[in-house]
Structure 1
Amino acid sequence: MRSGQIRHRPDLLIPVEGATVAATRYEPPGEDGPRPVVLIATPYRKDDWITFGSWHPSIEYLARSGYEVVVADLVGTGASTGEPTPFARADGVQMATVVDWLADRPWTTGRVGTFGLSYGAWTQYATAAAAPDALGAIVPVSVAASGYDSSYTGGAFNPLKRAVWATEFRARQALPPGRRDEAGRWARVWHDRLDRLEHERPWLFRFLEHDLEDEFWAERRVEPGEVAVPTLAACGTRDVHTASMVPFVEALDAEKRLIVGPWRHRMPEQGRETAIDFRRRAVDWFDRHLREDDPDRDPGGQSTADLPPVTYWTERDGGWTVGAGGWRGRDRWPTVGTHPTRAFRVTTGGLELAREPNGETGDGDPGEAGDRGTVVREREYDHTVGMESLDRVGGVENPGVDTSADDARSMAAESAPLEDAVEFT
């Protein structure tokens, strides 16, 4: 890990089709010379304090590990010009241009990796699908590779997750760029954006208009076969995107490692007792794929080459404390065979039990009537239940781990006492 000052250059302007991407370069301390690059692409305004504060520990760690770190505003956000297209493959096409541009700079070795959480992970999938030659490795954390999956669950719109996001996204659009340069570029970018917003249909309405997975969402989806670069992925069992992310990573043909911990929507090193040195592992991943023969490569710490394909945290009674669980390694996920069955199906007459011909529950025949059972109690749907992972109401980014408020408003099933101990993963 290098000591010394990290030099900060907030004035990179990178041309892409129809727009200019604004980026900030963080130079590693030490002697000048070409270095590999780690790109972080975000729609959350790179120059805002909340964004910088969230990313700065990772930026500093990567830079002190010998990497040029470049943080870029996506097209139409922050200090970048153009019109944004949230969760669209255009993000990847534009960032692929940025990757190639960075690879051509004299201060780089021509090798680029990407790093980021949430939307900053979506851009990595989309960039990998665009297949720029210089892209050597990606490190996505907590994201769905499908805009539809991240907006709808089983065909039902996720109001708090996507509605809050879309509203916040539009509010950020109305703000001036976070850094006011002396030449006044920031004012021109802001003025043009306000003109566009006056006539632009809010993205929330567009998401709601497409409640089926149609062509709109096809442009907001990446398939596993399109990602051919080495991938170190992480997500949390309490995160809203894990159900989509895990099978996507499992389906990748590229070299991959998946880490699943008991986290919410956050970076793995920000956990509590189950926190891991994820930044160290990310640096090792980049070292292996971007600096294979570099004498400056840091051999310290556990090599990601030694990790099993899937590393996951398993819990027992006691919550998040170390004594209540432990890390496991497996060759695949799920770790045991599973057989999903449909317990209910929706019909014009209401919710019905799905029955196989032999009387067991299963997929059922939509043409046959099922057993409707008995309505014991009716409740209004409360879409806030279970959404603490992304709930920012009142400015609380990561609320406490006490979920009793959620539990009291949740539907639960209780079995007879178990005869043997059970691990939850």
Structure 2
Amino acid sequence: MGYKDNYKPLGAITTVDESDSRYIARINEEFEVGDGDRIRLNVFLPRSGGPEFPVLMTATPYGKDVPFIDNEVYKVFAADLPEVMKSKHLSWEAPAPSWWCPHGYAVVIMDHRGSGASSGASRPFSTQDWDDYAKAIEWAADQPWSIGKVGLTGISYLGLNQWPTAARQPRGLACMVPWEGLGDYYREGGRHGGIYHSFMDVWYLRQIMRNHYGSRNRSNGCWGPTSPEGKLSDSELDGLHQKLPKFLLENEWIDDEWYKDHMVGEDYSRIQVPLLSAGNWGGTGLHLRGNVLGYMRASSRYKFLRIHTGRHDLPYYCEPYITYQKSFFDCFLKGDDYDGWKTGKQAPVAFAVRRGTQPQGSIQGELEYKFRDENEWPLARTKYEKHYLTANKMLLKEKPSVEATFSYQALYGECIQFTTPVAEEEYEVTGHGHVRLAVSLTDHEGETEPDLDVYVAIRKINAQGIESSYSSSLGNPTPVVFGWLRASHRTIDPNPYPDSFHLPVPVPSHRRSDRKEVRNGEVYDLQIELWPTNVVVGRGERLVVEISPKDPVGADLFACYDPIDRDERTLCGTNNIHIGKDYESYVVLPIV
């Protein structure tokens, strides 16, 4: 007997909750997908107006019924939210019905299949999630309380799932606001430069497994109600839900069969609805690249890129960001363009300029960074400047004639830093940079075929000789930007995506068919993409390029350190950086 045998008639589990004066909640609305699984959704309706409303929609793997303000993981973050956003129905990284419903919007929060109340097998980052979401959008568009126009919104997974879903062009989809949401699961989520991203372990165990459909002990830590069909046994849970970290570890290459169903090959040029992509300069280990490239890849006539700073969750719920989200939705869902999204009043691109250093993790501190409007991304006036590594550990514009080799122990050795001259005049770095290194491996005596990992961080040192750290998306100190590459993944793909757009940095193919050997004593040319970034270097300040065999200080939770993926038998030995007239070792900085 399986869980489907415990289904009640479709619609029988839906309940109405009118306990909050700001909205009416319809809990566990449901529809059936083709294989008999059921998608459950919470619908929040305004108490006035209507009877039809524009719809704001999101889909979550974290549980539509898991309370943001009380859950053991999330409540520490909820403490900083504006009071108007809080309610017992507010879920992690989802739109707040207590704010949006009084502004005339219906809010729909859907549990992805296999999570929370939605039955079936959990398959995060898979085609299953995108296809289900597209069906849910069409369901919402057809409801009697809907005007037939749906806007997508949400943070992180609730942002990233919008890219492939919108590419399916579901009927009723009118606009989208992916807030800090990656767009390339392999390069931005699962592996960095081919190196396993250990954040996936933490994320899956702490937030996804606890919310699996049929999971038990949900009351411990406030993880919401038991699934409608009841609890499943351990063996049933193991058979139903895919263990994501296991599959990531077993599949190193982007053309492995498993990845074909996980965001690889999605054509974002099929995205044609109005788009507001919101990234975070501090999201250099997970989402930022996706927001920038998603904006570049989409074909939308009306598309906008905004890049803020600060903690991952706060800006979405706070001023001034909540107001311009409303302005965008009012334009494309209600037809009220009072802020000029269609007329050109709104700049296509705007971002916070990181000049100086502000308090980290505080919305008030982060707002000290002033926004600047731009007409395009990357900025047309960008000059891509090469700064060569030198024998005296400097970064200079002239290629060095003196040869040198810098060595460090593989896996656990100390980093090597190269510094620009102290700035005589202020300059700004904004856009896409990369690092090119001539690297070799020596002294490898491991039992397996050798490889080497390179981690890069760029740091800013202020006029007092102290590093200027910036807020990561978790609110902790982090450098300006990161880059990573495993040497066997060094083959560059000039066209890494199915949609045609120009990315001014080298992107590895990560295909098994392009794998390159690493041998003792041979020098290899590594081109390492740096994620998009912005920083102002003032007079008396300088930049430092740090090269390391391990996670740099400030990587936060977005680290790459798994002992299985980073096997000592493979990565042992000495790593060497070669400098001089016969080698190409430099950093390219996008100067504006």
Question: TM-score normalised by the shorter chain: which range applies?
Answer: 0.7 to 0.9
**Pairwise CA distance, 1:112:** 0.9
Measure the CA separation in 1 of the matches of 2:28 and 2:281: 39
Measure the CA separation in 2 of the matches of 1:371 and 1:25: 56
Q: Partner residue of 1:219?
A: 261
**Pairwise CA distance, 1:14:** 1.9
Measure the CA separation in 1 of the matches of 2:138 and 2:280: 32
Q: Partner residue of 1:332?
A: 376
Amino acid at match of 2:195: A
On the 8 A contact 2:308/2:351 being kept in 1, the answer is yes
Measure the CA separation in 2 of the matches of 1:49 and 1:219: 31
Amino acid at match of 1:87: F
Q: 2:325 aligns with which of 255, 261, 282?
A: 282
- The 1:192/1:75 distance shift into structure 2, 3 A limit, reads farther
Measure the CA separation in 2 of the matches of 1:378 and 1:268: 32
Q: 1:152 aligns with which of 187, 191, 198?
A: 191
On the 8 A contact 1:80/1:189 being kept in 2, the answer is no
On the 8 A contact 1:314/1:423 being kept in 2, the answer is no
Amino acid at match of 2:179: V
Measure the CA separation in 2 of the matches of 1:137 and 1:36: 11
Q: Partner residue of 2:511?
A: none
Measure the CA separation in 2 of the matches of 1:258 and 1:233: 5
Measure the CA separation in 1 of the matches of 2:42 and 2:62: 14
Measure the CA separation in 2 of the matches of 1:86 and 1:152: 15
Measure the CA separation in 2 of the matches of 1:276 and 1:423: 31
Measure the CA separation in 1 of the matches of 2:375 and 2:105: 31
Amino acid at match of 2:325: A
Q: What does 1:21-420 correspond to in 2, within 5 Å? A: 21-50=39-68, 52=90, 54=92, 58-149=96-187, 150-159=189-198, 161-168=199-206, 169-173=208-212, 174-175=215-216, 180=225, 186=227, 188-191=229-232, 195-197=236-238, 200=241, 202-214=243-255, 215-221=257-263, 222-239=266-283, 240=285, 241-254=287-300, 255-269=302-316, 276-292=319-335, 297=336, 299=338, 302-305=339-342, 306-319=345-358, 321=365, 325-335=369-379, 336-338=382-384, 340=433, 342-345=435-438, 349=442, 370=523, 381-382=550-551, 385-387=554-556
- The 1:323/1:231 distance shift into structure 2, 3 A limit, reads closer
Summarize deviations over 1:168-211 as a string: whole Å, max 9, x none: 2223323467555xxxx835243278613257552210011111
**Pairwise CA distance, 1:385:** 4.0
Summarize deviations over 1:271-329 as a string: whole Å, max 9, x none: xxxx642222222222222222xxxx594xx4444221111011222325479641101
Match of 2:555, SS state, is coil
Match of 2:116, SS state, is coil
What root-mean-square deviation, in Å, do the aligned CA atoms of Structure 1 and Structure 2 show?
A: 3.7
- The 1:53/1:95 distance shift into structure 2, 3 A limit, reads closer
On the 8 A contact 1:144/1:245 being kept in 2, the answer is yes
Measure the CA separation in 2 of the matches of 1:56 and 1:248: 20
Q: Give 1 or 2: higher helix fraction.
A: 1
Amino acid at match of 1:49: P
On the 8 A contact 1:36/1:291 being kept in 2, the answer is yes
Q: Which protein shows a greater Rg?
A: 2
Q: Partner residue of 1:398?
A: none
Q: Partner residue of 1:418?
A: none
Measure the CA separation in 2 of the matches of 1:387 and 1:269: 21
Summarize deviations over 1:397-425 as a string: whole Å, max 9, x none: xxxxxxxxxxxxxxxxxxxxxxxxx9999
- The 1:327/1:162 distance shift into structure 2, 3 A limit, reads same
**Pairwise CA distance, 1:266:** 2.4
Measure the CA separation in 2 of the matches of 1:233 and 1:100: 22
Summarize deviations over 1:42-73 as a string: whole Å, max 9, x none: 00011111273545773222211111101111
- The 1:369/1:175 distance shift into structure 2, 3 A limit, reads same
How many residues are treated as equivalent by the alignment? 365
- The 1:225/1:126 distance shift into structure 2, 3 A limit, reads same
Measure the CA separation in 2 of the matches of 1:34 and 1:199: 38
On the 8 A contact 2:94/2:155 being kept in 1, the answer is no
Amino acid at match of 2:62: Y
Measure the CA separation in 2 of the matches of 1:164 and 1:322: 27
On the 8 A contact 1:234/1:268 being kept in 2, the answer is no
Match of 1:232, SS state, is strand
The alignment-based identity, stated in percent, is 21
Q: Give 1 or 2: higher strand fraction.
A: 2
Amino acid at match of 1:195: E
Measure the CA separation in 1 of the matches of 2:124 and 2:34: 16
Structure 1 position 17 matched with structure 2 position 59: no
**Pairwise CA distance, 1:250:** 1.9
Match of 1:97, SS state, is helix
**Pairwise CA distance, 1:105:** 1.1
Measure the CA separation in 2 of the matches of 1:250 and 1:114: 19
Query: Structure 2-normalised TM-score?
Result: 0.55
On the 8 A contact 1:316/1:424 being kept in 2, the answer is no
On the 8 A contact 1:317/1:324 being kept in 2, the answer is no
Measure the CA separation in 2 of the matches of 1:389 and 1:61: 32
Question: Is the deviation greater in 137-146 or in 328-337?
Answer: 328-337
Amino acid at match of 2:41: A
Match of 1:225, SS state, is helix
- The 1:170/1:153 distance shift into structure 2, 3 A limit, reads same
- The 1:12/1:327 distance shift into structure 2, 3 A limit, reads same
- The 1:333/1:171 distance shift into structure 2, 3 A limit, reads same
On the 8 A contact 2:61/2:211 being kept in 1, the answer is no
Measure the CA separation in 2 of the matches of 1:124 and 1:36: 18
Amino acid at match of 2:247: R
